[in-house]
Amino acid sequence: GNSVGTAYNSTDLATSVHVLMVENLFSPYKDVVHIVPVHSFDASKLYNLLDKVVMGHEDIGFKVNGLVADNNSINRKAVSYF
């Protein structure tokens, strides 16, 4: 699909989108919880976003058991900060 609009971290147009999802370990439940259009992103910014999303879910009663990411270098580095 296509993403059209301004990036959340820049006045430039978004060139990609980070989609964060939750998934239950014991049921088929899964859902998109955050969609972030970005122009460029680095590991520290992604880590800050992931940390806010994880802490926000724990604050409302979810228990986060882990994070899963693809093998992209920015994703690997961001997850390593945990």
pLDDT at residue 2, as a whole number: 63
pLDDT at residue 61, as a whole number: 92
pLDDT at residue 70, as a whole number: 87
- Say how far apart CA 20 and CA 24 lie, in whole Å: 14
Do 37 and 5 touch, CB atoms closer than 8 A?
yes
- Say how far apart CA 33 and CA 53 lie, in whole Å: 8
pLDDT at residue 54, as a whole number: 92
What pTM did the predictor assign?
0.78
pLDDT digits (tens, 9 = 90+) for 22-68: 998 899 999 999 888 888 888 999 999 999 999 999 999 989 998 88
Per-residue pLDDT at 71 exceeds 80:
yes
